[in-house]
Amino acid sequence: MRTLIYVRASTKEQDAKRALSDLIEFSKQYTDQYLPFEENYSGTKLNRPVLTQLLDEAQPNDILLVESVDRLSRLNQDDFDTLKQQIKSKGLRLIVADLPTTHTTITNDITGQIMNVINSMLIDLLATMARLDNDKRKERIKQGLVRSGYKPSGKSKDQEKWKLIQTLLMSKNYTKQEIASKANCAVSMVYRVQKEMVEK
């Protein structure tokens, strides 16, 4: 049996290793064998490179240890159900450091079955709260930007490339595909330039 320690932060500016030393110490009550898995990736995404690697390397009866449910998931319900199924199919035991009911060994008697149900409900609830918190934070940021009068400018166009496409279009010697190839751009961009030229 090993402890697979998963630590995650959303961006590279955040420190995914922040909780690692505490989790390593925490894991020693279960086994001396531990493998740390660290990544900077959004918890709203199901397919995360390091989490996928962890699940690939997991063996039956390994422990999956996380600091809190929101480090594992800010997924929508369908994706979280998929992740839970992946964890279950690998035969992993999920332990959440800040959720004490997951710390004790679950037996096969009636008490153990009740604890399993309770843990499952608590984890589902915390995952839902993590997702809602994330949604609420995004909405607050959006509202703040609206109040500040900020308007995203969008991707600025490459003026040199734009002029090249215009020149090639005006020559009328090339197909749209040939122009796209010469300008190293998508054909859709050629059509956008042409549309702007017509509208002027």
* Co-location of 50 and 132 in the same domain: yes
pLDDT one-digit tens code per residue, 60-112: 999 999 999 999 999 998 999 999 999 999 999 999 999 999 998 766 778 76
Q: What is the tally of structural domains in the chain?
A: 2
* Co-location of 169 and 80 in the same domain: no
DSSP per position, 116-142: HHHHHHHHHHHHHHHHHHHHHHHHHHH
* Co-location of 188 and 127 in the same domain: no
DSSP per position, 37-80: EEEE--TT-S--HHHHHHHHH--TT-EEEESSHHHH----HHHH
* Co-location of 113 and 178 in the same domain: no
Residue type for 32, please? D
Domain of residue 38: give its range.
Answer: 3-144
* Sign of the alpha-carbon dihedral angle for 26, 32, 34, 11: positive
pLDDT one-digit tens code per residue, 127-152: 888 888 878 887 888 778 778 776 66
**152 domain residue, yes or no:** no
**73 domain residue, yes or no:** yes
* Co-location of 135 and 163 in the same domain: no
**48 domain residue, yes or no:** yes
* Sign of the alpha-carbon dihedral angle for 48, 59, 69, 35: negative
Instruction: Give the gyration radius of the chain's Cα atoms.
Output: 25
